[in-house]
Chain A
Amino acid sequence: MSLIDSIMAGFSLVGNFEAFLSLAIGVVIGVIGGAIPGVSATMAVALALPFTFPMEAINGILLLLGVYKGGIFGGSIPAILIKTPGTPASSATVLDGHPMAARGEAGRALGMALWASCTADLISNLALILFAGWLASFALSFGPPEFFALILFSLTIIAGVSGDSLLRGALSALLGLLLATIGLDLIYGTNRFTFGDPSLMGGLNFIAVLIGLFAIPEIINTVWHPTGHIGTVQKLGSKWVTFAEYRRCFKSIVRGSFIGVFLGSIPGIGAAPAAFLSYSEARRKSPNKANFGKGEIEGVAASEAGNNGVAGATLIPLLALGVPGDVITAIIIGAFMVHGLQPGPMMFVMNVDIIYGLFIGLIFSSALLFVIGGLAIRGFKPAADIPKRILMPTVLVLCTYGVFAVNNNIFDVGVMFVMGWVGFAMGRYHIPAAPFLIAFILGPLLEDNFRQAMLMSGGSPEILLRGPITWFFWGLTALTVVAITRGTLDKARDKG
């Protein structure tokens, strides 16, 4: 079958009202789910899954993909409005989005988040359609040594989000790395800092830590200083994002999208590191470097581009290899299986109409996201006008429900509270929270891949340099470390 035939076959599958309706319903569910902290894109997809069983295969899968994409965008709404990332992927958006909201520019931040998300989504989908086969075979050459080198490089983004003191950023990251060691050891299954508690054996829940670190300190701060916000009343603001701003950020958005595509096509990384990497790259390249972290619109654009760039690319290993790129695509695989479809190379031969149907649907999903996201921003607008001392108790209750719902475990609510105090103390000592979070995500990956590589080689460190991919990332890491050291020394000299 030629390409044209395949595309026509795909069109005949999705060229109907139901397909678009399911996609639109999916995006709506996703945006709402993503906007409620604790529900997150993952849970929204898991909840929607059983409803797709009786549907046509293609419609069901399009609905789930809509939820996925909507959810990743939806997470930015509470991240900007109430400093609570709705989905882990939107934690980078908090860094600049919330300061903008505090300045009364929430509308502008949300608008940019939407534009950047849709652009990145489109780029990601195009990458999926054009490069699926090629990127998939590339992803399979990532074994533990390659992962180790990639993650080591990703850890250098800590320098980009450390704020004014690199050492304090490093301290924050170390704290994150240390807390991430709690739980059962991967290689031997022994206990590390668990004190025999079955809830600790599973490790600290990531979402509980995330919400505890961002949302709860805001509440404690209000308790400490209840009138601190008066005079800087937070409003959605009349200002909307302009096309000129979009053009100014366009480079960062495209760069972020490609970072997302790249990290998304490699199974096991996920959207949060992509958003942080995109953010720190945008900061490094920007003339307004000093303004990052204080409400720079380009920071919002870069973070949202990074995490939405992942959303199409995770489908590359899914469709081309049958390997899920993250938790969400792992659930979506379930939908394929229930309909008797086996994602993988054979699917491009056996069910080419479904593949192209999905591609066509995905292209439209970016447009749908733009429309529905715009409506959602207006829908959530009232949240920005709630008086702060009513909003804070609401956030507390919302986070309690949300964090519980993630893993149905009350213990996680306790983790969230404790992390809230840690976050509050860090704020008092001007320790940035972002390095903590990045380290908490990447630390276990770094350790596990290192030890897996050592198991593979029987303890010989040579395996860490086994091929061009590892050389590339080791080189990149070395370059970045040199650049950071020089930058820090220059800054120190300027001061002294």
Chain B
Amino acid sequence: MNQRAIQMQLGIGAMLVAAFLMFYAIPNWVSSPTNIRNVVLSPRFWPYVLGGLTGLVGLGLVVFGRRMSASEAPLNEAIDDPRAGALRLMAMAVLMAVTFWALSRIGMVWTSMLSFAALAFLVRTRHPVTALVCAVLVPLLLYAFFAHVAGVAIPQGEFVRLP
């Protein structure tokens, strides 16, 4: 992607978001009492202002983007194998979703151990043994600190509880 492509995509994206906000999201998802004396006091006033400004900025991006030359160098550093990269990103998204789901079910300590190990594996660490040791130790140490020094009720889950 070069400067111009980025600019155009962002501009069009911003205008679409603005349209979605103004015509669907704000009327449906922002509730407002019926007896408002002054329009500027309405809970919808500020979101509408922001929606409008987003549209304007999107327009600006498109206008300036059209003036840019298309031949500029790509902005993001290319990586060796974008397909493998995309797969890793997907794996990361899954990892986060699973982590979030597991936090309240099996507890923060065990979840963190698994997600630490999984992430270290995902980024292909050169120190697998160290990574495994850390995967066990870091969550335990953090647990000891937060639960016993800072007095935070770290979620423990329903299975194995730590003291």
Contacts and interface: CB of A to CB of B under 8 A. Distances in A.
Interface of A: 36, 39, 43, 47, 165, 167-168, 170-171, 174, 177-178, 181, 185, 187-188, 190-193, 195, 219-220, 222-226, 228, 387, 389-390, 392-394, 396-398, 400-401, 404-405, 408, 410, 413-414, 417, 420-421, 428-431, 447, 450-451, 454-455, 458-459, 496
B88 A224 contact: yes
Contact of B57 (A170, A405, A408): A170
A390 B85 CA distance: 19
B142 A397 contact: yes
Given A390-B131, A397-B142, A400-B99, A174 B57 contact: yes
Contact of A396 (B6, B33, B77, B115): B115
B19 interface: no
Contacts of A220: 89, 92
A398 B31 CA distance: 38
Interface string B109-143: 00010011101101111110011001100110011
A393 B33 CA distance: 47
Contact of A398 (B126, B131, B142): B142
A165 B152 CA distance: 43
A397 B120 CA distance: 12
Given A190-B32, A401-B142, 20 more contacts: A36-B145, A47-B150, A167-B64, A168-B61, A174-B54, A181-B47, A181-B50, A191-B30, A223-B122, A224-B85, A387-B125, A387-B127, A393-B116, A393-B117, A400-B103, A404-B154, A404-B155, A447-B46, A454-B40, A454-B41
- The main secondary structure of chain B at its interface with chain A is helix
Contacts of B16: none
B30 to A, nearest CB: 5
B10 interface: yes
A413 B100 contact: yes
B151 interface: yes
Contacts of B92: 219-220, 223
Contacts, number: 181
Contact of A405 (B29, B58, B150): B150
Contacts of A181: 30, 46-47, 50
A468 B139 CA distance: 55
A6 to B, nearest CB: 38
15 contacts: A167-B64, A178-B50, A178-B54, A188-B43, A226-B88, A228-B77, A389-B124, A389-B125, A389-B126, A393-B120, A393-B138, A400-B103, A404-B103, A405-B154, A413-B103
A327 to B, nearest CB: 17
A197 to B, nearest CB: 12
B39 to A, nearest CB: 9
Contacts of A36: 145
A282 B30 CA distance: 40
B27 to A, nearest CB: 12
B66 to A, nearest CB: 13
Interface residues of B, number: 74
B30 A192 contact: yes
Interface-centre pick from B33, B36, B119, B134 (highest chain A CB count, 10 A): B119
A392 B29 CA distance: 37
A223 B146 contact: no
A171 B10 contact: yes
A71 B152 CA distance: 19
A405 B54 contact: no
A179 to B, nearest CB: 10
A379 B62 CA distance: 50
A219 B142 CA distance: 19
B38 A459 contact: yes
A417 B100 contact: yes
Interface string B42-73: 01001100110110011011001001000000
Given A191-B31, A405-B146, A430 B75 contact: yes
B106 to A, nearest CB: 12
Contacts of A451: 40-41
A23 B73 CA distance: 56
Contact of B108 (A401, A421, A447): A401
A171 B32 contact: no
B50 A192 contact: no
Contacts of B75: 430
B153 A223 contact: no
A39 B152 CA distance: 10
Contacts of A225: 77, 79, 85
A410 B103 contact: yes
Contacts of A447: 46
Given A397-B115, A400-B108, A390 B125 contact: yes
A71 to B, nearest CB: 13
A458 B41 CA distance: 10
A296 to B, nearest CB: 22
A474 B58 CA distance: 27
B57 A167 contact: yes
A47 B151 contact: yes
Nearest to A420: B96
Contacts of A404: 103, 108, 152, 154-155
Contact of B119 (A393, A414, A454): A393
A188 B33 CA distance: 8
B6 A190 contact: no
B105 to A, nearest CB: 10
Contacts of B130: 390
A183 to B, nearest CB: 11
Contact of B139 (A397, A410, A420): A397
A428 B5 CA distance: 12
Closest 5 CB pairs of A and B: A459-B38, A185-B43, A389-B125, A393-B119, A393-B116
Interface in B72-91: 75-77, 79, 85, 88-89, 91
